[in-house]
Structure 1
Amino acid sequence: MRTARVIPMASGVLVTALAASLAAASPAAADPPDSPADDSALAEFHEQELAWAPCTEEVLQGLECAGVEVPLDYSDPDGERVTVAISRARASAPDRRRGILLTNPGGPGGPGRVLGGYYEGTRVGEVYDVIGMDPRGTGASSPRMDCGNDPVPVYPRPTNAEISEATREAIRYQRECQRAQGGLRPHMTTANTARDMDVVRAALDEEKTNYLGYSYGTYLGAVYGSLFPERLDRSVLDSPVHPDGVWREMFLTQAPAYSANMDRYTAWAARHDGALGFGSTQEEVYATFEATSARLREEPREDIPGLVYDSHAFDFEVGQISRYQQFWDLNSDYLGYLVRGEPLPTALASEFEALAEEDEEEDVTLMNVDLQTAVLCEAEWPGRISRYHADAREYREEHPYGVGAYWSVPHPCTFNTLDRPEPPVELERDGYPEPLLIAGEFDANTPYEAGVAMAKRLESPLITVAGDGGHGFYLPGGLECVADPVEAYLVDGVVPDDLTCQGLPPAEMGTQPEPEPDTEHLAPMREEPVLGGPVV
């Protein structure tokens, strides 16, 4: 039986889910400035003894955990130090061990220690010590980025007044974060995280590292390869970001990708009008969703524990649902209650209440929005506010579902006044083996064209997952046509040609067993964020 989970998005919950679904792009820039990153300058860090101990967090049970000291500023290794938290799952077949596999879940801002135990029982877990890592500033790494203030609101379809409000909130957020942690924020960059990875490699006494990264983690892996080509062996980049362009330009490609998924979903819903009642044509289905959004703008629902479910939550959530064609039947059943304005079933409301209680507890797997924003400020953002506002008005009309106009309005980094220690790293592959890339045809986090461009830049093979709107595809228990070539590459060193893997087909109403009367109704939206992939 398929399980899925929909979580209505509103207020801070929506911000967390959206932030976690992001992927990064790499702006073209000059080489980083000279810094004492050679082995002699970092010898003390490379030769440190790690104090391994059983991880204490429940989600990390069975793993070993340790802290790795690294310089806050690699141009001043004798200065302030920070700690990077890592986990380890030792190779289950030590006689065939071929080194470490360093992993990253995406984000930026996604803690990654949980990935240490993610590949237990796979061929990868047999031959690699899998290393999970909470990048500097997040998770159990310290100091942790925490501005102590509220994030900016998320408006997929903002009114003119909300565009102005979002602008003011972006200014407020950036100023308060600079005031609270201005000394740390400029050092929270992708390049420094890559340098931390190399300290981890050396502290583990490994000549080379192997790497598996999802979403933003693909950019991190490509940066590592650009900075340390002689120290990177095999690498898999799952759901790649685009290798060119400043951050905002990459993010603006998400909204059209959501719209493409909405076209797929509304056409499917029209074919199943007899069961759903959303409309018998695509136009009628869209009209139904528009009417529901308008009603929720005027009268938000308050029957979902811990949330005020308004039009912004609905617009974002329908866009998310449109991506996961294998759950369209279950998710449409849930959307029906919103469309008809009916109370949610008791079991569903109870599940939301439990989830709201979980959100109040500290979770080592949650995305760190403050770190994410700091990393995004490593690149320049456009400074002309009128450009943002014009784009926001266009995107709210053309792409109202999913992320909508979120990336069109001014971002906190628009108002960054902190000096950037160095420009972003220019990606190149010169001296390390060709990585293996995976990209989904309808991925809305990192659209397919980004994967094609990254494969071209790195001169590497690409696995295309056809007909699939997911994000992050090499998952234990996932598609065999992805897992088989990935594991043959990582374990056996077999580099495939470009190939196509057929994704999961769209659901058909009435062909699946009736779900249990609890959380089986719900859709896979918020598990995705932490990993940006293997639910990033």
Structure 2
Amino acid sequence: MDCATVTVPMNYRKPADGKLSIAISRRKAKDPAKRQGVLLLNPGGPGGDGLLMPSYLEPEAIATSYDLIGFDPRGVGRSTQLLCEVGYWEPPRTRPTDDQFAPITAAAREREAACQRAGGGLRPFVNTANAARDMDVIREALGEKKINYLGFSYGTYLGAVYGSLFPGKLNRSVLDSSMHPDWLYYEQSKQQSVAAKQSVDAWVKWVAERDKTYHLGSSAAQVNAALDEMGTRLAAQPIPWPDNPDFPRIDRNTFDQLLGFWAAPRPNWALLAELVVKIKESIGGTLPADAGKAMAALGKALIPETFNDTFPTVTCEADWPADLNVYYEQMRLFRERYPYGRGANAAEPTECTFRSFTPPERLADLKRKGYPTGLVIQAEFDPATQYDGGPAMAAKLNDNLISISDEGSHGIYGRNACATEKINSYLIGGVLPGSRTTCAGAPRPDVPAGGVAAQSGRSLEQRAVELIKIHKLDRTF
């Protein structure tokens, strides 16, 4: 790749106040004769570094026709960094008790103070609108009249803001795994636990249809009762997990996270069911070594997104509830209704509850007026940006929507052949797939309902590694 740095104002309203550097990268189109311009890429976050994205997407068809442009947004990676002092994090709890609300709140308040001490001068200007303005500086530096855009997760909101601020500078646009335009950002966080519960409910029904294989119950109610009983027993007597320093034991909290995060990808379902059976058999003892290794392998692939210190700043560009009772009521609700994955952790106070700076501008009014119809891509059981965000963003921008049915992935391009083909046809040929299109998700495991699954002979660890490789479960944005 070619790499460079562009210089941008810290504050676009007062350029003399200081400048920031933005690191950019370029992988030129493989076929210069077919080149159609530049395609800017963003991985999401907020806080994801995108400098290496042109290399990640080099095998895809778009690399033939576009110069792929990556960049680290302001505050991130090799661009001018926004740093926070290390603050205290309470361990994430899926079902916190009322007594635990106060320390969770105190930790969020302390983290905000730690961020303010280290990055106070820069923080007000690390936001989505300024990142979009930086993108337009990149466009100008490259000598392009217009850009094309492919953004994932939070990158969908960034792309929508760019199109709203610079409609005459945007050509084709693909928003993959979209944020909801009206869920900035507290509701977006909570919906991750809603999505996790939806995937667990679907998995529970699938397991109930295979009671002769897994013996967890022949109805959804029976399987849920078995899971609740296991959770109660794990809360009282966690299972030691040898050789895992991050999770030395499996308690109810870890069990909730396991179910919520690992039920999302459908190809994972059979292995997840077998691991749950192993955990059930191990209560009162120790997790078998092979089951522990399988869980560790999947855990590295399916842990939720992590962010640098830009995340707790950009997400504060929107107002969060100021009344702590709002959070406490939601945490009580979520620990009962949506305890899987992040559970009530998704509804708790954050740094933004105690925001110590005033955003210099209001959120951008999202609209598509002046640039071509784009695509929004959304998986039915997206674990990070819940499905409703896709139709809402498509309606907001009057874009075409591609839905991936029975799919629990986050970040579809390059992973789903049907959707990837339609995206390529649009980006390369300008062909829209239709206002509403559906592609099938990755297949569920071939375990017959009402029968006993054939044993493959491969260990749980081997199968976990195989799932990661075949279904690209380790690719997160």
Deviation at 1:489, TM superposition (A): 0.5
Deviation at 1:84, TM superposition (A): 2.0
Q: What is the aligned partner in structure 1 of residue 61 from structure 2?
A: 123
Q: What is the aligned partner in structure 1 of residue 405 from structure 2?
A: 466
- Out of 132-141 and 386-395, give the one that drifted further: 132-141
User: How many percent of aligned residue pairs carry the same amino acid?
Assistant: 38
2:160 & 2:299 partners in 1: Cα distance?
Answer: 37
User: Residue 73 in 1 paired to residue 15 in 2?
Assistant: no
Alpha carbons 1:67, 1:86 under 8 Å: kept:
yes
Provide closer, same or farther for how the CA distance between residues 528 and 249 of structure 1 changes in structure 2, counting only shifts above 3 A: farther
Q: What is the aligned partner in structure 1 of residue 318 from structure 2?
A: 379
2:103 & 2:112 partners in 1: Cα distance?
Answer: 14
- The DSSP-based 3-state class of the residue aligned with 2:357 is coil
Q: 1:283 is matched with which residue: 196, 221, 233?
A: 221
User: Residue 334 in 1 paired to residue 271 in 2?
Assistant: no
1:434 & 1:357 partners in 2: Cα distance?
Answer: 37
1:94 & 1:326 partners in 2: Cα distance?
Answer: 39
- The DSSP-based 3-state class of the residue aligned with 2:179 is coil
Provide closer, same or farther for how the CA distance between residues 512 and 191 of structure 1 changes in structure 2, counting only shifts above 3 A: farther
Q: 1:156 is matched with which residue: 77, 90, 94?
A: 94
Q: 1:520 is matched with which residue: 454, 459, 463?
A: 463
Q: Deviations over 1:17-41 (max 9, x none)?
A: xxxxxxxxxxxxxxxxxxxxxxxxx
2:59 & 2:300 partners in 1: Cα distance?
Answer: 32
Q: What is the aligned partner in structure 1 of residue 430 from structure 2?
A: 493
- Out of 74-83 and 181-190, give the one that drifted further: 74-83
- The DSSP-based 3-state class of the residue aligned with 2:343 is coil
Alpha carbons 2:383, 2:408 under 8 Å: kept:
yes
Deviation at 1:351, TM superposition (A): 7.6
Deviation at 1:347, TM superposition (A): 5.5
Alpha carbons 1:232, 1:432 under 8 Å: kept:
yes
Ranked by relative contact order (alpha carbons within 8 Å, sequence separation 6 or more), the top structure is 1
Alpha carbons 2:34, 2:65 under 8 Å: kept:
yes
Deviation at 1:78, TM superposition (A): 2.4
Report the residue type matching 2:151 in the other structure.
G
Alpha carbons 1:243, 1:454 under 8 Å: kept:
yes
Q: What is the aligned partner in structure 2 of residue 274 from structure 1?
A: 212
1:513 & 1:74 partners in 2: Cα distance?
Answer: 60
Deviation at 1:387, TM superposition (A): 1.4
Report the residue type matching 2:192 in the other structure.
Q
Alpha carbons 1:138, 1:368 under 8 Å: kept:
no
Q: What is the aligned partner in structure 2 of residue 28 from structure 1?
A: none
2:246 & 2:289 partners in 1: Cα distance?
Answer: 16
1:268 & 1:318 partners in 2: Cα distance?
Answer: 14
Q: What is the aligned partner in structure 2 of residue 407 from structure 1?
A: 346
Provide closer, same or farther for how the CA distance between residues 116 and 170 of structure 1 changes in structure 2, counting only shifts above 3 A: same
Q: 1:199 is matched with which residue: 124, 137, 142?
A: 137
Provide closer, same or farther for how the CA distance between residues 314 and 85 of structure 1 changes in structure 2, counting only shifts above 3 A: farther
1:405 & 1:385 partners in 2: Cα distance?
Answer: 14
Deviation at 1:508, TM superposition (A): 2.7
Provide closer, same or farther for how the CA distance between residues 146 and 511 of structure 1 changes in structure 2, counting only shifts above 3 A: farther
Report the residue type matching 2:313 in the other structure.
A
Deviation at 1:460, TM superposition (A): 1.2
- Out of 344-353 and 385-394, give the one that drifted further: 344-353
Matches within 5 A, 1:177-192: 177-192=115-130
Q: What is the aligned partner in structure 2 of residue 4 from structure 1?
A: none
Q: Deviations over 1:381-439 (max 9, x none)?
A: 11111111111111111111122212322222011121111111110111111111111
User: Residue 140 in 1 paired to residue 140 in 2?
Assistant: no
Provide closer, same or farther for how the CA distance between residues 189 and 128 of structure 1 changes in structure 2, counting only shifts above 3 A: same
TM-score normalised by L of structure 1: 0.80
2:458 & 2:82 partners in 1: Cα distance?
Answer: 41
Report the residue type matching 2:426 in the other structure.
Y
Report the residue type matching 2:416 in the other structure.
L
Alpha carbons 1:186, 1:421 under 8 Å: kept:
yes
- The DSSP-based 3-state class of the residue aligned with 1:235 is strand
Deviation at 1:283, TM superposition (A): 2.1
RMSD: 2.7
Q: What is the aligned partner in structure 1 of residue 236 from structure 2?
A: 298
Q: 1:218 is matched with which residue: 156, 179, 192?
A: 156
Report the residue type matching 1:414 in the other structure.
T
Q: 2:266 is matched with which residue: 325, 333, 342?
A: 325
- The DSSP-based 3-state class of the residue aligned with 1:370 is coil
Q: What is the aligned partner in structure 2 of residue 230 from structure 1?
A: 168
Q: What is the aligned partner in structure 2 of residue 457 from structure 1?
A: 396
TM-score normalised by L of structure 2: 0.89
Provide closer, same or farther for how the CA distance between residues 486 and 261 of structure 1 changes in structure 2, counting only shifts above 3 A: same
- The DSSP-based 3-state class of the residue aligned with 1:78 is helix
2:89 & 2:141 partners in 1: Cα distance?
Answer: 36
Report the residue type matching 2:424 in the other structure.
E
Q: Deviations over 1:93-115 (max 9, x none)?
A: 11111111111111112111221
Report the residue type matching 1:276 in the other structure.
Y
Q: What is the aligned partner in structure 1 of residue 450 from structure 2?
A: none
- Out of 189-198 and 507-516, give the one that drifted further: 507-516
**Where do 5+ consecutive residues of structure 1 fail to align?**
1-62, 359-365
Provide closer, same or farther for how the CA distance between residues 351 and 382 of structure 1 changes in structure 2, counting only shifts above 3 A: same
Q: 1:428 is matched with which residue: 352, 367, 375?
A: 367
Deviation at 1:267, TM superposition (A): 1.0
2:146 & 2:412 partners in 1: Cα distance?
Answer: 25
1:519 & 1:81 partners in 2: Cα distance?
Answer: 50
Alpha carbons 2:405, 2:440 under 8 Å: kept:
yes
Q: What is the aligned partner in structure 2 of residue 96 from structure 1?
A: 34
**Where do 5+ consecutive residues of structure 2 fail to align?**
448-452
- The DSSP-based 3-state class of the residue aligned with 2:8 is strand
1:392 & 1:353 partners in 2: Cα distance?
Answer: 28
1:149 & 1:242 partners in 2: Cα distance?
Answer: 29
Alpha carbons 1:367, 1:529 under 8 Å: kept:
no
- Out of 262-271 and 84-93, give the one that drifted further: 84-93
Report the residue type matching 1:337 in the other structure.
K
1:345 & 1:67 partners in 2: Cα distance?
Answer: 51
Alpha carbons 1:155, 1:162 under 8 Å: kept:
no
1:517 & 1:312 partners in 2: Cα distance?
Answer: 23
